[in-house]
Amino acid sequence: MDLRITSTPLPLTSALAARRNAVAQGGASEAGFSGALKGALNDVSKAQNQANELQKQVQLENPKVSIEETMVAIQKAQVSFQATLHVRNRLVQAYTDIMNMQV
């Protein structure tokens, strides 16, 4: 049984990596906050897809996939989704606060 765990990047570190990649590629439209947000959302999506695929493989009784690896992948996907959800909630709250400011 192989107990090695492949690591998926955290949402914040993946956002920084997405920003660096966008700047390195010369894409001015993808640099900045929107590029970082897109990269972070893509990484969260990849983590969820990987967890779903591992879960399917465990259900099909694939001997190459361990239940431990699957559970860790599911937990990582849940944590990254919760972090993304908190960021979204903070952004919505900041937008609401700005819209309610007196001019």
- 20 or 51, higher pLDDT: 51
- 23 or 76, higher pLDDT: 76
Segment 7-50, tens digit of pLDDT: 555 555 555 565 566 555 554 456 788 898 899 999 999 999 99
Rounded-to-integer distance, Cα 45 and Cα 53, Å:
12
What is the per-residue DSSP string for 33-86? HHHHHHHHHHHHHHHHHHHHHHHHHHHTT-TTS-HHHHHHHHHHHHHHHHHHHH
Task: State residue 31's pLDDT score.
Answer: 77
Compute the average pLDDT of residues 73-97.
95
Is 8 within 8 Å of 50 (Cβ atoms)? yes
Averaged pLDDT of the chain:
82
